[in-house]
Amino acid sequence: MDDFDSAANRKLEELSHFFEDFWPEADVDLFESNLMVNLPGKRQYLINKHGVTRQIWVSSPFTGAHHFKHKDGSWISTRTNKSIEAFLQHEKNAHAS
């Protein structure tokens, strides 16, 4: 397993705990390289690693597709330069029911 795979797998594991702690009403399921997060109201995040681009891809039920590249020890949005955690916290704050 190369550095990308190790770093991405670690981040997916961390994100599963992040959702369990930060968004407790979510149903979180991490299977292989896919993190599925089911929210109330039949909304779902799908987060996975994409080996070809060496990114973590997030499909948000609120804002669509986002891509994060490993940079200086963090996963940073290719659009906004925000960390994946900052992005998810903003999503929670903006869209929590």
In the chain, domain spans:
3-95
Extract the tokens encoding 52: 């070809």
Confidence of residue 6 (pLDDT cuts 50, 70, 90): very high
Q: Is the pLDDT of residue 47 over 80?
A: yes
Fold of 3-95: Metal Transport, Frataxin; Chain A (3.30.920)
* Mean pLDDT on 38-44: 91
pTM strictly above 0.85: yes
Quick count: other Cβ atoms within 10 Å of Cβ 91? 18
Tokens representing residue 38 in the block = 């089911």
Q: How far apart are CA 26 and CA 41, in angstroms?
A: 10
